[in-house]
């Protein structure tokens, strides 16, 4: 089981939208130097829905090769077609990823039984451990706690990233799964601290893109139950957590990474570069979080 801060890695792109492979390798190395506990390649923040299959595969492979076993790599392999999700998971296994992160099928709006059968099929088709990902605000479908609990009984399904931001729900799921060898990760930075203090195992974080050391320290404190230390760090990071959602992810975080000199100003349509009216707000949050001084 992975614990700690897992960065939902943004994919560096050049101004014309082409993937910047050198910047991607440099960014992965920067995370390894700054304490990130695991790297999610081609997750939502990495813009996989705008990539060709070849690009998606190459991002996963490049991250695995650059990490070279130093921390776990979680490959984003979700798709709204079950067969496609299986193909992506099999490729991630082939190139050496440690886990796959599989989002609930978006747009199709499956039933709870459909969700169960989807994740079961992915888990049974590939022996790469599966972390499910529930983010109803993006997908239009919600994986209920009862269904997640049912899926946790499948050997190859090892965890859940919960991005609902609903702490009552999180506490219910944590209670249901006590005693199970099953990881629960926050996918919502503003509530991640409380999620972990309630018994969660870590965070798959957007904020970790620009504040890797602080997010690592927050996760260490919170998963250890150190309330005072965790809240101290989280208070400093809260302005950053908030503004990185000021426009759709990864728009604000890619602008922030550009300001840190870690990538060019590339993002793919239909997403656009951060609106000028929000740029000073994001810059101020970076300053308040101490990011500009790392």
Is 227 catalytic? The answer is no
The verdict on whether 178 is a catalytic residue reads no
4-293 has which fold? TIM Barrel (3.20.20)
Task: Check: pTM over 0.75? Answer yes or no.
Answer: yes
Distance CA 189, CA 167 (A): 12
User: Is residue 204 marked as binding?
Assistant: yes
Q: What is the per-residue pLDDT across 46-61, written as a single tens digit (0 to 9) for each?
A: 999 999 999 999 999 9
Tokens 């997640």 sit at which residue? 148
Nearest to 131 by CA among 111, 157, 155, 168: 157
Tokens (6 digits) for 128:
């790469």
Q: In the numeric block, which tokens belong to residue 229?
A: 């230390």
Backbone angles phi, psi at 257, to 5 degrees: -65, -35
Residue 86 preceded by cis peptide, ω within 30: no
From 99, 133, 185, 254, the catalytic residue? 133
Residue of 91, 93, 116, 161 with catalytic role:
161
What is the Cα–Cα distance from 193 to 189, expressed in whole angstroms? 8
Which residues lie below 8 Å from residue 231, measured CB to CB, with a gap of 6+?
Answer: 193
Regions of the chain with pLDDT less than 50:
none
Distance of alpha carbon 46 from alpha carbon 57, whole angstroms = 12
CB atoms within 10 A of CB 2: 21
Domain ranges of the chain: 4-293
Show the beta-strand stretches assigned E in 83-219. 99-103, 130-134, 157-162, 183-186, 202-205
Q: What integer pLDDT is reported at residue 77 of this predicted model?
A: 98
**214 CB-near residues (< 8 Å, 6+ apart):** 233, 236, 237, 289, 290, 291
Distance (Å, whole) CA 75 – CA 66: 14
């Amino acid at each position: 089981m992975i614990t700690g801060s897992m960065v939902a890695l943004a994919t560096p792109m050049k101004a014309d939208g082409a993937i910047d492979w050198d910047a991607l390798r440099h960014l992965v190395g920067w995370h390894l130097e700054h304490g990130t506990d695991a790297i999610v390649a081609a997750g939502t923040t990495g813009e996989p829905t705008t990539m060709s299959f070849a690009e998606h595969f190459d991002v996963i492979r490049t991250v695995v090769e650059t990490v070279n076993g130093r921390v776990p790599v979680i490959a984003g392999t979700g798709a709204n077609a079950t067969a496609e999700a299986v193909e992506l998971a099999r490729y991630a296994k082939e190139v050496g990823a440690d886990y796959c992160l599989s989002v609930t099928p978006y747009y199709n709006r499956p039933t709870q039984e459909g969700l169960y059968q989807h994740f079961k099929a992915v888990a049974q088709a590939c022996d790469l451990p599966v972390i499910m990902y529930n983010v109803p605000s993006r997908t239009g479908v919600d994986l209920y706690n009862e269904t997640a609990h049912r899926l946790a009984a499948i050997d190859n399904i090892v965890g859940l990233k919960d991005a609902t931001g609903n702490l009552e729900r999180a506490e219910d799921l944590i209670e249901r799964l006590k005693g199970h060898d099953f990881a629960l990760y926050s996918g919502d930075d503003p509530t991640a601290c409380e999620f972990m203090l309630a018994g969660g195992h870590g965070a798959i974080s957007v904020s970790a893109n620009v504040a890797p050391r602080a997010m690592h320290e927050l996760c260490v404190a919170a998963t250890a139950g150190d309330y005072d230390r965790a809240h101290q760090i989280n208070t400093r990071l809260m302005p950053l957590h908030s503004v990185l959602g000021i426009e759709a992810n990864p728009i604000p975080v890619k602008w922030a990474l550009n300001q840190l000199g870690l990538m060019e100003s590339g993002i793919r349509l239909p997403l656009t570069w951060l609106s000028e009216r929000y740029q000073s707000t994001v810059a101020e949050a970076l300053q308040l979080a101490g990011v500009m001084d790392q």
